[in-house]
Structure 1
C-alpha cells in the first residue's frame, strides 16, 4: 500500500482496514499532517481490493481531543502565519482542506466504523459524524465545543450531525457547547452501542466489520451508494437509481450466483466481490 504518514497508520487484516489516529502523545489532536493524510489514507484503503470494511480508532488515552491549536497557529509547513488579506485567504484554503479531509471519510465507498474511547471533541466529532457507524467505550466524552471558544464549527459536524440525531439534540449540543457521556450519546442515537473500555469497543468494531465483510462486497458497496445518494434525491429518484444499480451490477454478479449455490448446498457463501 502506497501510504506514509507519521501521525496516521493503516493496518489490514482479513478484509478489514483499521485507520489509526497515531499521535498518542498529543491525544490525537489533529495537526496539519493529520488533516493532509486523511484523503490519501482513505484513497489507499479504498484501492485495496481485499478490503471490505474500515475501522477508525485512536491510539493512546483518547480518540481525538480536536484540532491542535498550537500546530494550527503556524502554516502547514511550519512557517510563520501571514497577516491581513493574505491571512484571510489562507484561512479559507485551510478550512476547505480540513473539510475535504473529513469528506474523504464520508465519501469512502466502504462502510466505516468509528471505535471511540475517552475524548471525542471538536474535530473528533467532525470525524465520527462522517462515519457510518459509531461505537463507544463507557469513558467516551463527546462535545461540539466551538461556541465556547468563539467560533462556528465549520468542518462538517453542523452538516452531518442533523442526519444522525434529532434537531433538538443538535441544537443543545451545538449552542451550549457542553460535553455528553457515552450513555447519553447512546440514548440520543449518536452511537449504536457502549462497551466497557477501549479494548472492548475495538473488539466490537472488529466483530462488526467482520460481519459486514462476510457479506457480498458489491451488495454492501451498492447499499452504501444508494443510502448516500438518497440524501440528495427524492424517494422516486432514489428508487430509480436503486433499480438501475441492481439491474446493472448485482444481478449480473458472480456473488449472486455464489449466494444461490450456497443456499441450495446449505453452506456459507464465499464471496469474491465480482
Structure 2
C-alpha cells in the first residue's frame, strides 16, 4: 500500500493479520469529506480489494470523530461550478459511486464509529457490511437541515437496515441520536462503553472473519448484497449457482480435513 492519499490513511496494525485499517484522516475538520475523498476512497478500496493479503477492512476516523459529513465547501463549489443541472447530476452520481465502492469491494468492511457520524458519514456506514460504535457516538441524517435530500445512499440503504418507518423519522427530522439508540434501531450490531472497548471488539470480529476461507467470505458478502434485490426463490437460485462452482474449490477440502484432524484450516489467499 505505497500510494499516498490526501484524505485517507491505510495501516496494517498487526503484520500478517489480514486486517487492514482504512482511516478517514482529516481530524482537524472532524473528518469532513473533502473533494479529494471522493477520488481517493474508491482508489484505496480497489487497492485493498486486489491485495491478496487483505482479508478484512476496518473503516474508522482519526481523532475524536468518525465523520462530520461532507465539507460544506464541497457542496458550495459543486453547485457553483456545475454549469447545468445535468452536469450537477453527473457530479452527484460520481460521489454516489465513491460510496458504493464499498459494496463493490469483495472484502468485508467493518465501520468502527466514535464521536460524530453525520450526514455523509451515515451514507458511508450504511454501505459497510458491519457497523459498531461507542454508546456515546452520535448520529444524524442531517441533509434536510441543509435544504437537501440525502443523495449518497442513506435514503436507499438505511430503510433496509433500520426499517422504513424509523428511516423516515430520522431522515425528516434530522434529529441527533446516540450510539445506544443506534443499537436499538439495528443501525449497529454493537454499542460499546468506550473507544478502547470498541477497538477491541472490532478487532475481535475482524480476526474471526480473517480466519475463515476468503472464498467463502467473499461469496457470502456477494450473496447477501445480491439477495436484497431478489425474491427468496431468485436468491436461492443465485447461491446454488455460486456454490456449484465453489464447492469444487480446495477450501472445502481443507475445511473438512481440518475439522477431522481438529486443527486450524490453512486457506489460500484470493
Name the TM-score class by shorter chain: over 0.9
Does the 8 Å CA contact 2:116/2:139 hold for their aligned counterparts?
A: yes
Residue 112 of structure 1 aligns with which residue? 109
User: Are 1:227 and 2:224 matched, yes or no?
Assistant: yes
Does the 8 Å CA contact 2:6/2:40 hold for their aligned counterparts?
A: no
Does the 8 Å CA contact 1:255/1:272 hold for their aligned counterparts?
A: yes
Residue 180 of structure 2 aligns with which residue? 183
The normalised TM-score by structure 1 is 0.93
Secondary structure, aligned partner of 2:77? coil
CA apart distance, 1:253: 1.4
CA change 1:93–1:19 in 2 (3 A) is same
Q: Distance in 2 between matches of 1:38 and 1:124?
A: 13
Unaligned runs of 5+ in 2: none
What do residues 88-136 of structure 1 show as CA deviations (whole Å, max 9, x unaligned)?
Answer: 3442222111101110012221111100001000000000000011100
Task: Choose from 204, 208, 211 the match for 2:205.
Answer: 208
CA apart distance, 1:4: 2.2
User: Are 1:28 and 2:24 matched, yes or no?
Assistant: no
Q: Which moved more, 1:117-126 or 1:236-245?
A: 236-245
Secondary structure, aligned partner of 1:164? helix
Task: Choose from 262, 265, 274 the match for 2:261.
Answer: 265
CA apart distance, 1:230: 1.0
CA apart distance, 1:195: 1.1
Does the 8 Å CA contact 2:138/2:177 hold for their aligned counterparts?
A: yes
Residue 145 of structure 1 aligns with which residue? 142
Q: State how 1:1-274 maps to structure 2 within 5 Å.
A: 1=1, 3-12=3-12, 13=15, 14-74=17-77, 81-82=80-81, 86-249=83-246, 251-273=247-269
Q: Distance in 1 between matches of 2:162 and 2:36?
A: 31
CA apart distance, 1:2: 5.2
Q: Which moved more, 1:260-269 or 1:120-129?
A: 260-269
Q: Distance in 2 between matches of 1:194 and 1:238?
A: 31
Q: Distance in 1 between matches of 2:112 and 2:162?
A: 18
Aligned residues: 267
Q: Which runs of 4+ in 1 moved over 6 A?
A: none
Unaligned runs of 5+ in 1: none
